Chains A and B, each alone.
Chain A
Amino acid sequence: MTEFTPLLSALGGVMIGLAAVLLMAFNGRIAGISGILGGLLPPSPASDRAWRVAFLAGMVAAPLAYAVFSGGMPEIQVPMSMPLLAVGGLIVGSGLAYSSGCTSGHGVCGIARLSPRSIVATLTFMATTAVTVFIVRHVFGA
Chain B
Amino acid sequence: MLRIFTVFAIGLLFGLGIIVSGMANPAKVLNFFDVAGTWDPSLAFVMGGALAVTAIGYRFVFRMPHPFQANAFALPAIKAIDLRLVGGAAVFGVGWGLSGFCPGGVIPALGIGRTEPAIFVAALVVGMMAAKAFDASRSAARHSALERHDALPEN
Taking Cβ atoms with an 8 Å cutoff, the residues of A that contact B are 1-31, 33-34, 37-38, 41-42, 50-51, 54-66, 73-80, 82, 84-100, 102-104, 106-113, 115-117, 120-122, 124-134, 136-138
Contact = CB atoms under 8 A, between A and B. Distances in A.
B7 A51 contact: yes
Given A5-B42, A19-B10, A138-B36, A98 B85 contact: yes
Nearest to B121: A89
B89 A85 contact: no
B129 A41 contact: yes
Contacts of A88: 95-96, 98-101, 120, 123
Interface string B99-128: 111111101111111111001111111111
B103 to A, nearest CB: 4
Given A100-B78, A117-B85, A132-B94, A89 B123 contact: yes
Contacts of A76: 24-27, 109, 112, 114
Q: Which size bracket describes the interface of B in this complex?
A: 35 or more
Contacts of B146: none
Contacts of A62: 12, 14-16, 18-19, 108, 111
A18 B91 CA distance: 29
Nearest to A38: B128
13 contacts: A10-B45, A15-B21, A28-B72, A61-B8, A63-B112, A77-B26, A85-B119, A86-B120, A96-B103, A97-B88, A97-B135, A125-B90, A130-B97
